[in-house]
Structure 1
Amino acid sequence: MEDEDMSQEPLQQELSCPVCTRFFEDPYLLPCSHSFCKDCLDKTSQRHRKCPVCRAVFNEGDAVPNRALSNASEVYRRQLDWRRGYERPGADICRIHLKPLELFCEKDEEPVCVDCVIQHQTHTLWPLRTATSLCQKQLTDKVEILERKKESYKKMTHKLSSTVEYIKHQAQQAENQIKAEFQRLRELLNKEELLRLKAVETEGEQKIAVAEKLNARTKAHIVALTELIDNVKKEQGNEELTFLLNFKNLKNKAQWMHEDPRLPEDSLLNMASHVGSLSFKIWKDMQSHVKYYPVVLDPSTACPWLSLSDDLTSMKESSERLTSPDNPERFDPCVFVLGAEGYTSGKLKWDVAVGDSTKWIVGVCKESLARKKKFTVSTTRGVWSICLSKGMYYALTPERTELQVQPRPKRIRIRLNVDKGEVSFWDGENEKHLITFTHKFSEKMFPIFGPGLCSEPMILVPGKMAVHTS
């Protein structure tokens, strides 16, 4: 600001009268090129006709009006007045026309003076008081919007804090289940280890007993052979006639009628049965202690009115609303839960045990199915399903197709062929076909379950496992 003032001082001096040192008022130009206010020049010329600056003599009538200097001085003075007024609080002077700001342009949202009207001919102009009221109203509306947004943010912080606590609970629950399952498997492995070590020990004891028995018999034969050899050698030392008289009898005694000792077949441990493909055999034996489920439930999608089992394979409606985060994937208020995995290709099959429940829905749905509002379950909504309601079985088409089902199924089988665009429903116990839907699936498809208001849970049935070797 100081630099600006310094740059303005020479200009102000050029536009000021050398006599009165004020801005020129009706300046006149002398032949010597110096200019003065008319009043200042008149007062000076009454005494003598000399230029007050260079003292050059001039005649009456030589001075002429300096219009350019007059205009420049007036413009600079007005700009200087505006600048001084603009820097003061509450200044209301137009920067262009240096006139009071008395109107407000609604389109450009700025105050203008009366001379600015021509530049805003197509705009709506308001008196300042009216404009102030309108602008205050707009800002009040915006403040109300911001207040509501602030409140929503406060609610979100509470929701996020609850979500953090829920995630901690989930992590602890998952940790406990993982530890428990690994402990169970470790106990099974320890038991399997003991059984296999016992089998090795038992077979080893049996094989050792056989070998030791054979060894003891062989040693006894050695003693007998030693005694026989000694007797024969002693008889051989007799006189010729005595030796020959006993030769026949001695020859018969020198016979060994026992079998030669030899290791029997299968005398060693069957190592192949104990350690051959050991890990595979252990894994194969473990199958009887584990279950495979083609589909498990996704708790992140479960309606707060649904209670899921810890292993995510069964569900039932809760008597009271459970505490769970309002995450985007979760159904609420509709009482549904999805399978944990979605499918864009392939063939799949899973069974659901519905038991004696009097109301349920099972099927598949598209990923974009609405989660946060009530809707009528139908193929037009992206759900291909069947249901039991009021003792009747229906395919949930727009007009509801009644299904003739006899006897009442305890288990429903769903077959999904995404590539072919088919989903079919069967009685899972007798393989009786119920209905098939056809549709070109353009989204990821998920199993969907609605157990209804029943005390009996809806349970996912384990799939069969088979070991294929080649």
Structure 2
Amino acid sequence: MSAASCLLTEDQFLCSICQDVFTDPVAIPCGHNFCKTCITKHWNVNVPYQCPNCNKLFYTRPELQVNILISEMAAQFRQSAQHKASSSSSEQQAAKPGEVPCDVCTGTKLKALKSCLVCLDSYCETHMEPHLTRLGLKRHQLIDSVENLEGRMCTKHDKLLELFCKTDQMCVCMLCTVLDHKNHDVVPLKEEYEGKKTELGKTEAEIQQMIQKRRLKIQEIKHSVELSEEDAGREISDGVQIFTALKKSVERSQAELINTIKEKQRKTEKQAEGFIKELEQEISELKKRSTEVVQLSHSEDHLHLLQIFRTLNTAPPTKNWTGVRVSPPSYEGTVRRAVNQLEETLSKQMKNLFEAELKRVQKSAVDVTLDPDSANPWLILSDDGKQVKTGDVKKNLPNNPKRFDRCVCVLAKQSFSSGRFYYEVQVKEKTKWDLGVVRESINRKGKITLTPQKGCWTIWLRNENEYKAWADPPVLLSLKSQPEKVGVFVDYEESLVSFYDVKSAALIYSFTGCCFTEKLYPFFSPHPNDGGKNSAPLIISPVNHTE
């Protein structure tokens, strides 16, 4: 039996309910063991009957029989543990420098284990024994061994400091309460000790919370730097590709662009490194204070705790990091601004630049057809669903929820909720039109406001040459030529909607920072034919990729 039990660990002899060595262990049908009293009390309270370990249900209360083998092994384990504890306690050590020596030992001073607040002496294990066995001495208060027990006496009255004056926030003796601290709010030292210990626990929790917040802030800053690095890499790659196409005439500008982007990134990293260094310093200080608070909170020395409580109860000075952010630098338009600076000398190459950009977005071309179920009754759609114009007669069509009843517009059948897509629309010979994308939940009844706030990202033509982007407020567009074919490009993840003049390969306008939360549908409005002046149709054209 002894040899077998030596192979088992303490956890195998512990009841999971009382967390102590088994007493009258019983096994229930699922195989788990508990003290007979523990599982009986558990089932008296909890119905239906369930195993506290694996939660297996028993529809009838199992009969409990003491497992004799486990009971004997637990008893032997308990006896072995007690023997080891007894043997360990008998091994006394001589007091080392810095340790409290026994005041009673003669010759070699052994290490003191406890100090008596009544006798004002410290005792090793042997000389502490009378305080544990004699009735009169057992009433004395023992604490972990400390030096300078005389410091626990009132210097004025030579009495034990056993009370705390809350009025003057100091430890006092019994005579102090009658003389110097009469009518003050005085409580037993232990009562104030417990209160302060509770406050220390709260302080420790607050410090740990502050540490956790700063660790999360470090993660947030590092993540921001990673995103910034990705943006910088992507922007550098695009910049290199564009400026390489411009050959030697723009090599110097290419280098300047890269240096500008890298400098922004370096500044971002430097700022982040400064924040991280400052946060890590605060964490180091907080950890140090946390260790001191934990050590103090475990002290049984009432006076020591109260004397230094005020210095440790407050966290060291720290910075409020709530509003601190490392914002990745904006690269929006960086390449375009660099090219604009060279406009006087590179006007011929500018067309090549936009042609390259248009070529890239044309790779996202999709097939788009018009949805007759959404078309306003005044509209005429071609059989192939590629053309729409406004007729002179209103059709008698069912007013289904998808149909626009007042605005002469129509949506595509296709919707998009991720990725990129591109399509082209011929607007040649028209004097009025609206084009763009709208979210699925756009209002289709009554008057419609085509603004981003209403889920619409569109541009329009009025009076033959008045072009505007339906932003809030609308943006007047200055175009060098009237587009005959408009390309519409959407990047759902990048929250971007861009419009291009396909023939001149020029960017007309871009909506950035769009709020996409639903499916997006291509939107078309040919407007009334205006007595024939605006009778030409809008035509969804096949995309001819630039060679």
TM range (shorter): 0.3 to 0.5
The structure that has the greater radius of gyration is 1
* TM-score, scaled to structure 1: 0.36
* TM-score, scaled to structure 2: 0.31
